[in-house]
Structure 1
């Protein structure tokens, strides 16, 4: 018998959030692209559930200026990527937080409400950063 502790659950949820946000989901037909490539996770070519996709479309924002519209799109893309956590009953609510960190950096955070009512705050930018060569 395997016993899953609340700490194991929190570790798994943190990992799930990072994978969901930072894996590139295939661009929707209506998305504006920089080139002809729609990218996407190769595993989505064979979904177990029709139409199921892994990842987010945050990658579409990589060349956009950091405007209120871009921030709104980041929140929408993050919510879309994390919706499965609620749909599959792993959590009962997902909140997406934003923090502007300078003129060209946006940090995303999430607050997950677990089925027992406990809230789990996750700030992926603390573990996952893009490094720029100067």
Structure 2
């Protein structure tokens, strides 16, 4: 079971908080696979409005789903960090945040944790820890 722990300026955030929702949508809406990404069959996934909304040419969401059925090795962890950064890049591009720090680490043989720290433009720090990501994408 995946657990997301989110705080803003050290205080817990409810899942309904706009920052927590933006983070969840950014990470857990499956972004369309790039042409160079290996996929099973023709399933490239993606958000239903990919290509319709010109203000979002890169699409929304993350490619974390591409890690499904992959071995939990160093390359998978690097890809998890890259996919997370890609999904959250809009926070910087849209000037919602001034800095983005991501740390991916392994817990045991079958769990991966993504720790995120986003410095908002007003100086407050939004943090999130996604625990056991592997269980979500390998359902």
TM-score normalised over the length of structure 2: 0.79
Higher radius of gyration, 1 or 2:
1
How far, CA to CA, are the matches of 1:72 and 1:132 in structure 2?
17
How far, CA to CA, are the matches of 1:62 and 1:69 in structure 2?
13
Q: Could you say which residue in structure 2 is the equivalent of 1:19?
A: 25
**1:103 partnered with 2:109:** yes
How far, CA to CA, are the matches of 2:36 and 2:57 in structure 1?
16
Q: Which has the higher strand share?
A: 2
Aligned length: 125
How far, CA to CA, are the matches of 2:44 and 2:104 in structure 1?
26
Q: Following TM superposition, where does structure 1 have runs of at least 4 consecutive aligned residues deviating by more than 2 angstroms?
A: 129-133
Q: Secondary structure at the match of 2:122?
A: coil
CA contact (8 A) 1:18 1:124 kept: no
Q: Which has the higher helix share?
A: 1
**1:84 partnered with 2:90:** yes
Residues 1:132 and 1:94: Cα distance change in structure 2 (over 3 Å): closer
How far, CA to CA, are the matches of 2:113 and 2:17 in structure 1?
20
Tell me how large the CA RMSD over aligned residues is: 2.6
Q: Secondary structure at the match of 1:108?
A: strand
Q: Could you say which residue in structure 2 is the equivalent of 1:59?
A: 65
Higher relative contact order (CA 8 A, sep 6+): 2
1:131 positional shift: 9.8
TM-score normalised over the length of structure 1: 0.81
How far, CA to CA, are the matches of 2:68 and 2:129 in structure 1?
19
Alignment partner of 1:125 out of 120, 126, 131:
131
CA contact (8 A) 1:113 1:119 kept: yes
